[in-house]
Amino acid sequence: MVYYYSMFGVSLLLVIIYAWIFHKHFDANLTIMTTLVPIINLGFVLMGNATSIDAALAALRLTYLGGCFLLVAAMFLIFNICGVALPKWARTSIIVFSCAVYATTLTIGFNDIFYVGTPELAWSNGAAYITNKHYGFMHTVFYVMVGIYYAMTIGVIIYSFFRKKQVPMSILILISLSVTIAVIGFFGGRLITHEIELLPATYNLGMIIYLIVATRLRLYNVSDSVVDSLVQKGDTGFVSFDRQMRYLGSNETAKRMWPELEHLSIDRSIKRNPWANETIVPWIEAFVKDETQGTQTLELQGAVYLVRINRLNLGRLYHGYQFLITDDTANQEHIRLIHNYNAQLEEEVKEKTRHVIAMRDKLVLGMATMVEGRDNSTGGHIKRTSDAIAILIDELKKQNYPGLDEKFCDLLIRAAPMHDIGKITVDDAILRKPGRFTTEEYEVMKTHSAEGARILTQILDGTDEPDFQRIAINVAHYHHEKWDGTGYPVGLKGEDIPLESRIMAVVDVYDALVSKRAYKQSMSYEKAHEIIVEGMGHHFDPSLKEAFLSAEPRLQAYYDSVDH
């Protein structure tokens, strides 16, 4: 039973390995085989644990899946690998016949067609096994069927070995070995012992070989590394070699470009071919020494080809070299001119774009400065908040605050001066009032957030910086929202408030507290600290507290250096 359980465990491990290496180009028959082996091995486990002849016979029926279907799947897989087309009617007939034979195994113990009489159950070393078996007519048919399938499989392998250069010899040898091991285990195992079945071990060994074959086949399948339609029908040729400079294969486009490829044998070193040894081998050797030497040109039959050499990688593993071949005879000069023109045009567009963005930023900043000039209570506010937000963002980056990247930080610093641009719509009588606002005046003043968003939407609409547009509008619109939802103009709450607006809110309030206003004196840093910290979780996002505390010494030093 240790043996049976071990074989069943190994088969499950092989299923896991197959799932790990699975690729969409794997043959479906390999999946069927990988699925069947654990089921068959489970049958042997159940048989060994049987306490009655009925339970043992039920398990025995599972084991016959191997001869009826496992060998069929292996045969179909080998036909596909060898490129031998089996007519649809033949495949269907084989499957139907196998199903019919397997159906007769279900009569064991009930009918004499497969087993004559009822076998007996015996035990050896704690494991049950079936003895006193007398085979019926269909069991002979079963043996004949297995022999025919094996003969067909070996026949195709031998035919491909001698007649098909495009089938890898090493794969054929491995497959022959796996099929032979399975058949020897099936027929020969009974000559060694009638008590312990060798089939679980032979099936597992066969699957190990098939997994090696499946992994190796991905190397020979050139189209596996690119889109199939492009590889087979496009105007780019693909040729692959492994690290030992053995030819792995090529697509039809490459063979049309380089007819010499037809004379190369798969899985054989290209150094044996004079043409390849003089042309391809030096390129690979130069590429190995310096991968920047991965582009070559080749004149062949009056045409000029551009050859690009790349590493052939499957996943993270480096397996060899892949050549990408394009015919540049008619287009090379034209492409070069177009490339140069496009590069020059692209640079000019980038330069003009940078100029337009700079002009736009200056325009918006100028408008914000105009607003500040009208508001006698916020002199220098724009400059101070822009510098202060840069300090706070720097601390947030040091703490690896989630959601921050360099682009976001740069855009937020650029957008910060625009947060109060909506005040341009507020009447001078209110904006320049030297004292505190009445309730009605305060309601008018509160409209500057939505108005700022509207103005920036119009100014920035259609620009090629959608992220900057979004951040600038959010900063203007929501910098007076509060974490507990009591802010304005919308009453957003918590993380519904954009991150850029939450950061702006802390800096905006801090500047208002420590700066002098027409209606108040500047507040001490200690009092401002107390108000900001107490506001965390109510007014401000509490996740910004740690960064604010870290930034405070730098903020205080900055405000000591400027007029506020």
Q: What is the pLDDT of residues 159-191, one digit of tens each?
A: 877 776 666 677 777 777 777 777 777 666 555
287 shares a domain with 186: no
Q: For residue 219, which of 336, 306, 365, 317 has the smallest C-alpha distance?
A: 317
350 shares a domain with 370: yes
Is 70 exceeded by the pLDDT of residue 362?
no
Q: For residue 11, which of 199, 153, 176, 217 has the smallest C-alpha distance?
A: 199
Q: Domain of residue 318: give its range.
A: 223-330
The Cβ of residue 72 has, within 10 Å, a number of other Cβ atoms equal to 24
pTM of the model as a whole: 0.42
User: What share of the chain in percent tops pLDDT 90?
Assistant: 24
Is 80 exceeded by the pLDDT of residue 295?
yes
Q: Which of 220, 243, 278 is the last residue of a domain?
A: 220
Domain-located, residue 177: yes
Q: Which of 273, 295, 330 is the last residue of a domain?
A: 330
- For the chain, what is the radius of gyration of the CA atoms? 39
Of 3-17, 377-391, 532-546, give the lowest mean pLDDT range.
Answer: 377-391
Beta strand segments in 68-146, E:
120-124, 127-131
Q: How many structural domains does the chain have?
A: 3
245 shares a domain with 170: no
Domain-located, residue 338: no
Most confident of 385-399, 420-434, 435-449: 385-399
State the average pLDDT for the chain: 82
170 shares a domain with 227: no
Is 80 exceeded by the pLDDT of residue 64?
yes
250 shares a domain with 137: no
Mean pLDDT along residues 226-244: 70
Tokens of 294: 């991965």
The Cβ of residue 396 has, within 10 Å, a number of other Cβ atoms equal to 23
SS3 (DSSP) at 298: strand
Query: Does a cis peptide bond (omega within 30 degrees of 0) precede residue 259?
Result: no
Of 177-186, 370-379, 403-412, give the lowest mean pLDDT range.
Answer: 370-379
* Exposure string over 77-87, b if 16+ CB within 10 A, otherwise e: bbbebbeeeee
Rounded Cα distance, 452 and 460, in Å: 12
Instruction: Return the pLDDT at 374.
Output: 56
Mean pLDDT along residues 362-389: 68
